[in-house]
């Protein structure tokens, strides 16, 4: 035990020296950053960093230590960059982000588009956000909605982005990258599915059940109790209800909301057929303008990372060092590049805040294709 205590004392002494040397290194890094700002030299020199890493790694005695030294110096270099980004913010060198803060969306006379038809959950989300008397129209697909606002046929679109049981709506993430449209708001509504059919329909008469694929999955426990029913996916739960009304066939039923059933004149044959009774969907409000509400508290971004060990870890550290709370991360394949991924991140903050500007500057410098998807 005495020997262990003696070794621990030696370790403590080394650790104190490491802290002192670390602080010296960070101070020198600040001085280098100040000089770069005054002389206009670019903050990041990747080749210098690579040369420095190679030199430090070569000084380690074992393969294990070489990996440790590489990781140690990569982290210290990353911390130095973050300090220098902060210096740029303090010096006003970051410039303005290309988004305009506004007190209101001025949606009183706006035209709103949603995907589906009358009775769709998207319509309910739209009315919750914009009010029941908003000027609206519907389209068949998510792409149609995004095109409507890009072309100016609508001012805003209300679209689903995430379900509490089924997870992300992958198509929406891909469309947010494809189109130059931006998120300015969100709303969450409960999802309560029913089985609906023509008035007087009995369960034993049903042969086919129509709904959106996700809705069929969310009601799988109930539907699997009737394995003789064929399950057929359509674009939207409300479209499924409309199909039942239009075709007047008692062998068909729809999984939809009670509201959609009422709109189409259908009878609710079975209530609350969700597997999860706490099911809900988050909808985003999208526009073609680069604006954000001045009281917005959530930011969505996407970026790609170099195909290198530790690259995602280093990028996410920008949230830690700027005291920003990351609330969600998703990944989607990058089109045309097998096994490479684009990451979608939500975090708390406002685009006017220095910490947010600092984090975004670091992410932009160190990632590929950073895009701000919205502040809401």
Other C-beta atoms lying within 10 Å of the C-beta of residue 243: 17
String of DSSP letters for 228-295: TSEEEE-S-HHHHHHHHHHHT-TTEEEEE-HHHHHHTT-EEEES---SSTT-EEEEEEEESS-EEETT
With contact defined as beta carbons under 8 Å apart, do 166 and 218 qualify? yes
Catalytic residue among 130, 156, 283, 303: 283
Q: Is 35 helix (H, G, I), strand (E, B) or coil?
A: helix
| Residue among 220, 228, 224 nearest 193 (CA) | 220
Q: Apex CA 224: angle with CA 221 and CA 229, to 5°?
A: 135
Catalytic residue among 117, 194, 201, 281: 281
Q: Annotated catalytic, 283? A: yes
| Residue among 83, 70, 102, 96 nearest 36 (CA) | 83
Question: What are the φ and ψ backbone dihedral angles of 72, each rounded to 5 degrees?
Answer: -60, -50
Cα within 13 Å of Cα(269), Cβ side? 24
Other C-beta atoms lying within 10 Å of the C-beta of residue 240: 29
Q: Annotated catalytic, 64? A: no
Beta partners for 286? 157, 183
Q: Is 131 helix (H, G, I), strand (E, B) or coil?
A: coil
String of DSSP letters for 44-62: --HHHHHHHHHHHHHT-SS
Report the run of H or E that residue 100 belongs to, with start and end: strand 100-102
Question: What are the φ and ψ backbone dihedral angles of 345, each rounded to 5 degrees?
Answer: -125, 135
Residue 18 token pair? 């490491």
Annotated catalytic residues are 281, 283
């Amino acid at each position: 035990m005495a020997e262990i205590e003696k070794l621990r004392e030696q370790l403590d002494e080394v650790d104190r020296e490491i802290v002192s040397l670390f602080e010296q290194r960070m101070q020198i890094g600040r001085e280098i950053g100040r000089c770069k700002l005054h002389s206009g030299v670019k903050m990041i020199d990747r080749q210098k960093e690579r040369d420095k890493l190679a030199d430090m790694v070569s000084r380690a005695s074992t393969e294990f230590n070489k990996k440790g030294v590489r990781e140690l110096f990569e982290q210290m270099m990353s911390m130095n960059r973050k300090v220098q980004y902060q210096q740029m913010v303090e010096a006003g060198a970051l410039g303005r982000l290309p988004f305009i803060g506004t007190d209101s969306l001025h949606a009183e006379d706006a035209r709103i588009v949603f995907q589906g038809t009358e009775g769709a959950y998207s319509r309910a989300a739209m009315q919750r956000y914009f009010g029941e008397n908003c000027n609206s129209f519907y389209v068949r697909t998510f792409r149609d909605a995004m095109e409507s606002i890009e072309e100016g046929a609508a001012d805003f679109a209300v679209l689903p982005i995430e379900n509490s049981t089924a997870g992300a709506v992958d198509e929406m993430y891909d469309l947010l990258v494809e189109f130059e449209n931006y998120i300015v708001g969100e709303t969450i509504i409960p999802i309560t599915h029913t089985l609906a059919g023509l008035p007087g329909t009995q369960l034993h008469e049903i042969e086919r059940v129509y709904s959106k694929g996700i809705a069929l999955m969310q009601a799988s426990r109930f539907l699997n109790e009737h394995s003789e029913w064929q399950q057929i996916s359509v674009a939207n739960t409300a479209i499924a209800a409309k199909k039942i009304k239009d075709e007047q066939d008692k062998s068909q039923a729809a999984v939809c909301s009670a509201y959609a059933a009422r709109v189409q004149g259908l009878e609710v044959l079975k209530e609350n057929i969700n597997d999860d009774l706490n099911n809900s969907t988050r909808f985003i409000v999208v526009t073609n303008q680069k604006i954000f509400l001045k009281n917005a508290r959530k930011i969505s971004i996407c970026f790609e990372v170099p195909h290198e060990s530790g690259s995602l870890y280093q990028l996410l550290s920008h949230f830690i060092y700027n005291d920003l709370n990351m609330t969600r991360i998703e990944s989607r394949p990058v089109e045309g590049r097998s096994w490479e991924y684009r990451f979608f991140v939500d975090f708390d903050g406002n685009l006017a805040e220095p910490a947010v500007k600092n984090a975004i500057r670091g992410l932009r410098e160190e990632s590929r294709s950073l895009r701000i998807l919205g502040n809401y």
